[in-house]
Amino acid sequence: MKNFSNLYQVSKTVRFELKPIGNTLENIKNKSLLKNDSIRAESYQKMKKTIDEFHKYFIDLALNNKKLSYLNEYIALYTQSAEAKKEDKFKADFKKVQDNLRKEIVSSFTEGEAKAIFSVLDKKELITIELEKWKNENNLAVYLDESFKSFTTYFTGFHQNRKNMYSAEANSTAIAYRLIHENLPKFIENSKAFEKSSQIAELQPKIEKLYKEFEAYLNVNSISELFEIDYFNEVLTQKGITVYNNIIGGRTATEGKQKIQGLNEIINLYNQTKPKNERLPKLKQLYKQILSDRISLSFLPDAFTEGKQVLKAVFEFYKINLLSYKQDGVEESQNLLELIQQVVKNLGNQDVNKIYLKNDTSLTTIAQQLFGDFSVFSAALQYRYETVVNPKYTAEYQKANEAKQEKLDKEKIKFVKQDYFSIAFLQEVVADYVKTLDENLDWKQKYTPSCIADYFTTHFIAKKENEADKTFNFIANIKAKYQCIQGILEQADDYEDELKQDQKLIDNIKFFLDAILEVVHFIKPLHLKSESITEKDNAFYDVFENYYEALNVVTPLYNMVRNYVTQKPYSTEKIKLNFENAQLLNGWDANKEKDYLTTILKRDGNYFLAIMDKKHNKTFQQFTEDDENYEKIVYKLLPGVNKMLPKVFFSNKNIAFFNPSKEILDNYKNNTHKKGATFNLKDCHALIDFFKDSLNKHEDWKYFDFQFSETKTYQDLSGFYKEVEHQGYKINFKKVSVSQIDTLIEEGKMYLFQIYNKDFSPYAKGKPNMHTLYWKALFETQNLENVIYKLNGQAEIFFRKASIKKKNIITHKAHQPIAAKNPLTPTAKNTFAYDLIKDKRYTVDKFQFHVPITMNFKATGNSYINQDVLAYLKDNPEVNIIGLDRGERHLVYLTLIDQKGTILLQESLNVIQDEKTHTPYHTLLDNKEIARDKARKNWGSIESIKELKEGYISQVVHKITKMMIEHNAIVVMEDLNFGFKRGRFKVEKQIYQKLEKMLIDKLNYLVLKDKQPHELGGLYNALQLTNKFESFQKMGKQSGFLFYVPAWNTSKIDPTTGFVNYFYTKYENVEKAKTFFSKFDSILYNKTKGYFEFVVKNYSDFNPKAADTRQEWTICTHGERIETKRQKEQNNNFVSTTIQLTEQFVNFFEKVGLDLSKELKTQLIAQNEKSFFEELFHLLKLTLQMRNSESHTEIDYLISPVANEKGIFYDSRKATASLPIDADANGAYHIAKKGLWIMEQINKTNSEDDLKKVKLAISNREWLQYVQQVQKK
């Protein structure tokens, strides 16, 4: 791996604490520096609101008079039939027109009057010019803080965030998305609805009157013109949206203004006089522009600061949003919960062909609730596809090769996984599917012809905690929960207690809000996304969506209340310090110290940050040397070489001094030095010679003592510029008097901080952390002679105020035993000679120092190293393979194999071991998660698990990287983008992804502390074994020495035969069962061996996916299995039972009178009872069950139902070190085996071109062919 070092630059921010020295802190406080920056931080929050108001102004300015040219194309597609909308061509065309419309919106920001403003929206000119100009021209009473004109960099992050609004991508935070994806569909639906109203003669006078009321605001001749597609151009701005929404919703009576009926109130009054089938659909108001609230949450502050606010907000939500809900177009207030109950109760009377359910986990929930089987809808949809949508599917699949099968699978999945299905369609497919099932099948008994629509009536019931609890519908449950807190909510103004300490009240508030959330979750499957183009029942959705949106206000309320009552006793908030200088820490150059005010000092192995007071900014130029001295850095940098050299040498101020010839000047203007049509190498060399001479003339830059290559060796300017850049960085040291520094601190002319972490403590033990090593390297002679680590500008200082008050500090007294955090420590309790303070870092004020550095400063290589890695791996027998897998019983499992497939090491990473300690992270994380779950359920203060998880991941990364070097190994991991495994895993996707990201980051720049500095992997010769990280999506199947494989069939696979279970063992009806068992070549009892044998001659008869893999298998009832299921007599808890397979089969077969001495297949097929085949499938399913576990025990093993060629059944309990020793080890082993397959593909290549095209993705069929063939060798 020696070629994989010093390849590319890596940027990092190192972080330290700052400890004030001498009178520094006192002087900072006396000069109000902390106070001023705290005020500035508060002012920044107000300024952000002002900038948002400016953005609103700009959006209206840019979109005013905009004419979209793709609206007619959009509406033509939007109004196509529901069937047409399922076609891929429609989806592609619709996406294209949406894209074009978004681009048209975005183009407005760079046209006309908007263009100049848009160019400075994220620049300092916004703060220094535009805001004030806008305020004055429009005579606005907005907040402006003049001081930010010299602190414009404060807004860099905020500007970047707001820039996302102007994106042309389909992002929900973008202006274009709001208009095209959310408002345009509403606009079209409103036009359809208005067309119906406009045909009712008795409504015309009222509509005309409405037009007269708003005529002054409208640029149309009648209300009907508002609903023509071209009018959408008028509702791009917030002003236009407001007028449009007022037409729909009317205007309430305010001082000096009369109430005006809107269209919806006109329609509502009309509907009250008509039967349901003659009622008109209402219209929907458009969403406000980005930066304006969709729903009024006036009862919610930005955040709760006291318990009284919480109680008042909960009370107002219940009384105003729920009990006194104001429906658009209806005078009197109504009970929102009763309205919701009524609208879902009437589902069966609506057009259920146009009412939809979201096809996600909510569908499986409904199936479980209705039928006691979560798979009903999935099975019914698959049956519909295979019998109606593509009746040739099964026959085509059986004949197809793998590529064709994948195509068929994708087409089927596309149908089954549609975003929404209508209730009528689901009812229809279930009705067809149910006909194929036995009459007495449990869930068939629960089926009715309207069961899906009826679900929202029959199951409008609150979940019971215990079976014995009384049954309440949702409304009664909410009322009951409210009564528990009614008294205190109604007296909220008088509440003076500390809510956070009243756990009973917190619980009751939570129960109440939970009861409301339960209704939200219950009706959510009916909620359609606003951009959905499904043909829908407007009469239903016009009402339902308004109700849903109003009820869902409980979600932000719930989150805010929870966040308040579970707040930590401390705050992590910090403010940025500026020391009254906007340029503070922008750089370190000695010439700019008076501007940046900062430098770094060294003394006795410690480092210090010195900051000059702004009024004494020339202090650093007056230092003297003494007997006792600090070493002050003298930092020199020639920045941005390719721009800086021409700027300085050709500037009007300097041109006479550097004196370029007329030929040099003419050629430079003609760009003959630049690569392209006008490039001339001779002219380029002449320019380089001029630059060389000028650098030696420059008063400041000649300090660098440049040593250049011969001019004729440069092929262009870039090589020369790179040499200048690499030599244009120097740090020297100058001695400065300690007493002089002390005096400056005393006089308040300088602020001095020690740059500190635990490694700088006089009591520090062990090896320093990486941040310390990097920091020290910046100033070491061996680095400065050949720069690897470069100190950068743009550092920052932060201040975090102590947030735990003295009275709330929790102290564990010295010499008192305390439970050890690590249960594996030799003593269960520890004793310390000093007090332990909980969350000590939050009990004191802290200064923090963040410093960016560049590592591998002189590296010029490519950060994409995949091809170099493949070349290194090819025909390299010394390379080994590490497989990593998440386990059900193990956080992460690791297996190391060689290129023969031999296991060299297999290890669970539940416990991390080093020379001194064993840390049981699995136990620690389990315990922490249990405590967090309990706190979450009870809204208690949730202990952070982040540090524990990050500590664990850090240890795992260290172990893996060390093994990669020691064993010359690649690492193979589960591909997170391939379809992540579901299940009860200890390390979920987010954490596993964090492990992956941390591993990539570590391998970007791998320094091993036990290596000598210049040794491979040492501080000055770091290994770079992965590509520079961009995103998981862009990563593909490889990042340097990391490879990603699908986890499909890596855990539940026999490592000695490659057998995987392709059988479908779910009982559906007797005929299907007979057909299934008739496919076995024979079924018999092997008396000699003492088990039953199900002999398969053609595995693909059972499942076409088995085609082209091993076909002959003998499934045996050897051994035992563990069956886990709920037991009513055990309070419906899961109970595990060990089943002796053969014994169970014998008892079952003898019970029904089968002759075990004869061939059994014919006898089985002759059976006609449902109960017989249900039990037979049950026992066969247990036989095929490879993984067997008992919860809360150590029992967890893998056993195969197939004997290998030696006649041995793989059983992980009996496995030697040459095979996976438990079920999770099997997953890691086979992930490593997929890595072995990758190695073989690399070795098969014959040329560099082949290597570039090498296939790294293994298909499911290729995997089985590979692992099964390997076993036969």
Q: What phi, psi does 1219 have (nearest 5°)? A: -130, 160
974 catalytic residue (yes or no): yes
Cβ atoms 456, 523 nearer than 8 A? yes
The three-state secondary structure class of 627 is coil
Cβ atoms 633, 596 nearer than 8 A? no
Q: How far apart are CA 417 and CA 912, in angstroms?
A: 42
Cβ atoms 206, 261 nearer than 8 A? yes
The three-state secondary structure class of 924 is helix
List, in sequence order, every residue forming a beta bridge with 819; answer none if it has no partner: 829
* Active-site residue, selected from the candidate residues 130, 580, 593, 974: 974
Q: How far apart are the first and last CA of the chain?
A: 32
* Active-site residue, selected from the candidate residues 643, 821, 840, 937: 821
* Active-site residue, selected from the candidate residues 130, 885, 996, 1196: 885
- Quick one: how far is CA 185 from the chain centroid? 29
For residue 1086, give Cα distances in angstroms to 323, 1059, 1082, 1139, 1158: 72, 21, 12, 19, 10
Q: How far apart are CA 233 and CA 89, in angstroms?
A: 27
Q: Which of 547, 546, 548, 543 is nearest to 524 (CA)?
A: 548
Q: Which of 781, 793, 933 is nearest to 851 (CA)?
A: 793
Cβ atoms 1257, 1228 nearer than 8 A? no
Q: Which of 617, 573, 745 is nearest to 30 (CA)?
A: 745
Q: Which of 561, 488, 486 is nearest to 305 (CA)?
A: 561
Cβ atoms 218, 229 nearer than 8 A? no
The three-state secondary structure class of 448 is coil
812 catalytic residue (yes or no): yes
Q: How far apart are CA 1165 and CA 413, in angstroms?
A: 33
Q: Which residues of 362-374 are buried (b: 16+ CB within 10 A; e: fewer)?
A: bbbebbeebbebe
Cβ atoms 55, 165 nearer than 8 A? yes
Q: How far apart are CA 204 and CA 857, in angstroms?
A: 76
Instruction: Give every CB contact of residue 32 below 8 A, 6+ residues apart in sequence.
Output: none
The Cβ of residue 444 has, within 10 Å, a number of other Cβ atoms equal to 17
Q: How far apart are CA 1069 and CA 1177, in angstroms?
A: 11
Element containing residue 734 per DSSP (H, E): strand 729-737
Tokens 């840390």 locate to 919
Q: What phi, psi does 1094 have (nearest 5°)? A: -105, 105
Cβ atoms 903, 882 nearer than 8 A? no
Cβ atoms 886, 981 nearer than 8 A? yes
* Active-site residue, selected from the candidate residues 95, 163, 812, 1066: 812
For the chain, the residue count is 1273
Q: How far apart are CA 119 and CA 557, in angstroms?
A: 38
868 catalytic residue (yes or no): no
Half-sphere exposure for 607 (CA within 13 Å, toward CB):
22
Q: Which of 317, 907, 898, 291 is nearest to 553 (CA)?
A: 317
Q: What angle do CA 875, 881, 884 make, to 5 degrees?
A: 155
99 catalytic residue (yes or no): no
Instruction: At 132, list the tokens.
Output: 């004030």
DSSP 464: P
* Active-site residue, selected from the candidate residues 838, 967, 1072, 1181: 838
- Quick one: how far is CA 408 from the chain centroid? 31
The three-state secondary structure class of 228 is coil
The three-state secondary structure class of 574 is coil
List the catalytic residues: 812, 821, 838, 885, 974, 1224
